[in-house]
Structure 1
Amino acid sequence: MLFLYLVVFILILYFVDYKLNHDGIAKIIKIIPGPKDTFFVGNASAFVDISPVKLFKLGRTWAAQFNGIYRFYAFKFAAVSIYNPDDVEIVTCSMKHHEKSIIYKFLKPWLKDGLLVSKGAKWQERRKILTTAFHFNVLRKYFPILEHNSQKLIATLEKTEGKSIDAVPLISEYTLESICETAMGVQLDKDEPEVGSKYKNAVYDTIKLLIKRFVSLHLYFDFIFNLTPDGFKQMRYISTIHNFTKKVINTRKENKKNKEIEECSDNEDTVDVFAYKKKKKAAMLDLLISAENEGLIDDTGIQEEVDTFMFEGHDTTAAGLTFCLLALAHNPEIQDSVVAELKGIFNDSSRAATPDDMAMMTYLEMCIKEALRLFPPVPFISRKLTETVKLSNYTVPKGTMCHIHIYDLHRHESLYKDALKFDPDRFLHENCVSRHNYAYIPFSAGPRNCIGQKFAMMEMKSALSAILRNFRVEPVTTIEDLEFSADLVLRNSKPVYMRFIKIKS
């Protein structure tokens, strides 16, 4: 009798395995190359008890093993990972597949329906409201604030006296202050410096929980995750984040009470902001407040967008700055070329930089672009395929998650010869013209590309030019030392140490 029960149990297991992993969509997906399947659990076994560092390495192992595309399948969850420009173009070039995949729902308690997560009409309306905040003429208005904060960063670095320091906290403080004072129009409280640190730590801790959910399929269900200890932790972290951003919003509203949106000096500088009205260009938060007065958004909507931009506007730019500095520190001859360009612009003067100076920093911009290629601040994005599509000549069914690995795309030898070498000349005009339009996407691509990419580039130029006019940057952490963790933002698992040697005038 016991033997009979055992046989029945085994038959049931095989039946369930067939229904889970060899039927319907599974048959189509499994034609695509992918990691070895395990009985019953499919590919899920690869994620059992895996650390964020090992998870990041696993992605690189699979990218090297397969050729531009591979699949994942477990318990009816289907995903394809792509890192070749033809497939990336198909998925990102239009609004057809603009909806984010299921993993972005993990951000919902934090960002709710902010621009990063929203879809359809809401996304289009919010994007329309916010686009004008990042117009070139508005960015020029932000520039004095960025330059002021760059000088504050210089003053902080001078206190390090050439010691080995972790650059990440200092740069993150600079980018957080900059996004607050420009897009939000609010200064951080100097009397409570720990508030900004608590916010940043809560962001990091929330993302760690998100990555943990990503590799634990049973935690994809909110009702399960919310009952776990991590679910309760997330509530605490998000409360800290929301309290910070609510304070930013309320401070700006108080400052703007009974006042209209500040006018730009150029009276002709108007654009369509809302559907039927024209408004002067203004800071992002001011536009949201004005949109609230027009009935186009409510308090919840403002909170969603401020949460989104506070995170995306400081964390990604801090990563870009950190790894660009590290790359320049490891390539002193390239650092010398940047310094020579700056000398040609400033002639050893200590005067403040201007937006016109930024336009002349062509080689520095090439260095930034090359750093963003090797170290894309957002290494991974994900979409939901809204219809069946051909990727790399494989049929991928409607509803499949599509992970776009920007990190692997940017390091593909077929696109970039000697891809691991830091070579800014890749971004000379003559070297770009023949490159696939979707071979380089540090700010994503298509209609859902990063709305703040020009702002980020200006901010990075301001900070880097200020640093390199005052310091020689030397590496302590080596490129080989870097050990990335799976994260929404490219993040080293340990501090990134450098030395800033003051240049004698």
Structure 2
Amino acid sequence: MFWFLLFFVAFLCLLHLLLNYNERARLIRKLPGPEDSFILGNGPAVMLSSVEVMKLARKLAQENSGIYRLWMYPVAAVNIYNPEDIETIVSSMKYNEKSQIYRLLKPWLGDGLLLSKGQKWQQRRKILTPTFHFNILKQFCEVISENTQRFVENLKEVSGRPIDVVPVISEFTLNSICETAMGTNLTEYDKTAASAYKEAIHNLGYIFYQRFIKIYYFFDFIFNLSPLSKKQDGYLKTVHSFTKKVIDERSAYIEKHGIKIPDENDDDDTYVYKSKKKTAMLDVLLSARKEGHISDTGVQEEVDTFMFEGHDTTAGGLTYCFMLLANHKEAQDKILEELKEILGDDKRPITMEDLPKMKYLERCIKESLRLFPPVHFISRSLNETVTLSNYKIPAGTFCHIHIYDLHRRADLFKNPTSFDPDRFLPENSVGRHPYAYIPFSAGPRNCIGQKFAMMEMKIAVAEVLREFELQPVTRPSDIRMIADAVFRNEGPVEVTFVKRQ
């Protein structure tokens, strides 16, 4: 028995040495990080609840200077939140491959723009760039303005009492992206199919969130045995069937009527539509498919990707913008004053030409995106050795870029937890590192839809404030961040919308 025990202890010690003192482990463990445990490295330190793991991340960010590591064989992760290291990773194509975390979305999004890499990503990006030509954005502005009016009418029904803004804003942004991305108005579509689609989208979000926070679901063979896997298959069938039907219908429409896709040489005078039907993102993809640049599968992947990215992240941005404005009446008053200068007392819809004039509103949105970035972190896979903060980071390491912690660095933003839109005045931005503020990521792989998102947020906030005064319910101090790819609060985010007299 003694010899068996001695052998067992010796085996564990040898295993510890092999796992935690190999060349790769020695390099990564030179970085600061949580206390290491025997054999399991940092594994036990991060096996926490969704809220607690986010608290730990914030604690580690405060204790370290822009970089720390997590190690649990064979997974190595370097976490960075200083602009110099972030610039090294995102400013070129060298480290543009997304990490394995994103594979959880692959059953839904396939090799769409969010998940693809290398030449395929470059080709897809090139195909989709015309989607955000000024003239198409101008049409999107009209669509979003119309959808915002429906959103405002819905808010009138709950005026004067606290509501959780998350579901109502999410429905607004989902309707907007459907109309702009697919040319489909969900309110006019087959109600049963549209309702099932919207429900499936939300349920898929829940499943991916569960896989994100429950480590054992990260492994496919375990997840595939769970009840969630069967539910996911059903939701995916609903989503993909719906988007395929829309693609087929839009394809038949274009085949019959034709449509003009703008190029970089088009301007307002030369851009002429072949039909009164507004151009959708889908039209750009269908045009590329006709020319043989993308397959049927590729078209569906990109539509599904835009549906996810285009509604969930913008909904998050609007949620916390409304919450912050409700807690800062002086900001609401300044926005309203600015809107009156631009629009007067006219109740006309907001146009594309109005948006650049909304400079204070834009600063408020930027400040809300600084404090509560919808995409609070991004993750890359380092395919070669790189030096970050004078540490040699081995190839094969995950690199997590913590945008939330970057945006709250006191050396980059004075009084970082306070809401101060004027920090984005041109004179107050002089000297700030170009990678200190990256709510839409940065570099070649930045968010292709950031102009669209800002346009939608500006219109929504402006139109809501024209009709309502926002009163606080949830405070910024009430927010308890949970582990998810998109910034989410543990509970509801409540605001009271009071109709203006």
TM range (shorter): over 0.9
2:324 is the counterpart of 1:327:
yes
2:100 is the counterpart of 1:99:
no
Q: Deviations over 1:99-144 (max 9, x none)?
A: 1112122221121111011001100000000011012222012111
Task: Identify the residue that residue 146 of structure 1 maps to in structure 2.
Answer: 144
2:375 is the counterpart of 1:378:
yes
- Equivalent pairs: percent with the same residue? 52
1:202/1:238 contact within 8 Å kept: no
Q: Distance in 2 between matches of 1:168 and 1:255?
A: 35
Task: Identify the residue that residue 208 of structure 1 maps to in structure 2.
Answer: 209
How much has 1:282 moved relative to structure 2? 4.5
How much has 1:173 moved relative to structure 2? 1.0
In 2 relative to 1, CA 358–480 (structure 1 residues): closer, same or farther, beyond 3 Å? same
AA partner of residue 8 (structure 2): F
Q: Distance in 2 between matches of 1:256 and 1:268?
A: 21
Q: Distance in 1 between matches of 2:227 and 2:155?
A: 40
1:385/1:400 contact within 8 Å kept: yes
How much has 1:264 moved relative to structure 2? 6.4
Task: Identify the residue that residue 276 of structure 1 maps to in structure 2.
Answer: none
Q: Distance in 1 between matches of 2:144 and 2:94?
A: 37
SS in 2 for 1:79: strand
2:159/2:498 contact within 8 Å kept: yes
State how 1:49-448 maps to structure 2 within 5 Å: 50-188=48-186, 189=189, 191-192=191-192, 194-212=195-213, 215-216=215-216, 219-262=217-260, 268-269=266-267, 282-448=279-445
Task: Identify the residue that residue 273 of structure 1 maps to in structure 2.
Answer: none
In 2 relative to 1, CA 124–265 (structure 1 residues): closer, same or farther, beyond 3 Å? closer
Q: Deviations over 1:76-111 (max 9, x none)?
A: 211100000000000000001011112122221121
How much has 1:224 moved relative to structure 2? 4.1
AA partner of residue 229 (structure 2): G
2:83/2:406 contact within 8 Å kept: yes
Q: Deviations over 1:195-218 (max 9, x none)?
A: 3431332232132133135x34xx
Q: Distance in 2 between matches of 1:240 and 1:22?
A: 48
Task: Identify the residue that residue 43 of structure 1 maps to in structure 2.
Answer: 42
How much has 1:269 moved relative to structure 2? 4.1
In 2 relative to 1, CA 160–387 (structure 1 residues): closer, same or farther, beyond 3 Å? same
1:371/1:422 contact within 8 Å kept: yes
How much has 1:10 moved relative to structure 2? 1.2
How much has 1:415 moved relative to structure 2? 0.6
Q: Distance in 1 between matches of 2:205 and 2:105?
A: 13
2:244/2:300 contact within 8 Å kept: yes
Q: Distance in 1 between matches of 2:262 and 2:351?
A: 18
2:14 is the counterpart of 1:15:
yes
Select between 241-250 and 334-343 the one with higher mean Cα deviation: 241-250
SS in 1 for 2:256: coil
SS in 1 for 2:354: helix
Q: Deviations over 1:160-192 (max 9, x none)?
A: 131111111111111111111112111112633
2:449 is the counterpart of 1:452:
yes
SS in 2 for 1:71: strand
SS in 2 for 1:41: coil
1:52/1:211 contact within 8 Å kept: no
Task: Identify the residue that residue 463 of structure 1 maps to in structure 2.
Answer: 460
Q: Distance in 1 between matches of 2:348 and 2:232?
A: 46
Task: Identify the residue that residue 273 of structure 2 maps to in structure 1.
Answer: none
Q: Distance in 2 between matches of 1:266 and 1:443?
A: 23
1:209/1:234 contact within 8 Å kept: no
Task: Identify the residue that residue 275 of structure 1 maps to in structure 2.
Answer: none
Q: Distance in 1 between matches of 2:202 and 2:281?
A: 24
How much has 1:263 moved relative to structure 2? 5.7
AA partner of residue 210 (structure 1): R
Task: Identify the residue that residue 277 of structure 1 maps to in structure 2.
Answer: none
- Which of 463, 473, 478 is the matching residue for 1:476? 473
1:205/1:237 contact within 8 Å kept: no
Q: Distance in 2 between matches of 1:397 and 1:81?
A: 14
1:186/1:248 contact within 8 Å kept: yes
2:133/2:264 contact within 8 Å kept: no
2:204/2:232 contact within 8 Å kept: no
AA partner of residue 406 (structure 1): I
Q: What TM-score does the superposition give when structure 2 sets the normalisation length? A: 0.94
How much has 1:267 moved relative to structure 2? 9.3
How much has 1:67 moved relative to structure 2? 1.3
Q: Distance in 1 between matches of 2:151 and 2:232?
A: 32
1:209/1:230 contact within 8 Å kept: no
RMSD of aligned Cα (Å) = 1.9
Aligned residues: 489
Task: Identify the residue that residue 272 of structure 2 maps to in structure 1.
Answer: none
Q: Distance in 2 between matches of 1:106 and 1:379?
A: 18
How much has 1:268 moved relative to structure 2? 3.7
1:206/1:238 contact within 8 Å kept: no
In 2 relative to 1, CA 87–500 (structure 1 residues): closer, same or farther, beyond 3 Å? same
In 2 relative to 1, CA 15–235 (structure 1 residues): closer, same or farther, beyond 3 Å? farther
AA partner of residue 364 (structure 2): C
Task: Identify the residue that residue 275 of structure 2 maps to in structure 1.
Answer: none
SS in 2 for 1:182: helix
AA partner of residue 256 (structure 1): I
Q: Distance in 1 between matches of 2:241 and 2:50?
A: 28
How much has 1:221 moved relative to structure 2? 4.1
2:104/2:208 contact within 8 Å kept: no
How much has 1:58 moved relative to structure 2? 1.7
Select between 442-451 and 132-141 the one with higher mean Cα deviation: 132-141
State how 1:20-31 maps to structure 2 within 5 Å: 20-31=19-30
How much has 1:439 moved relative to structure 2? 0.2
2:368/2:419 contact within 8 Å kept: yes
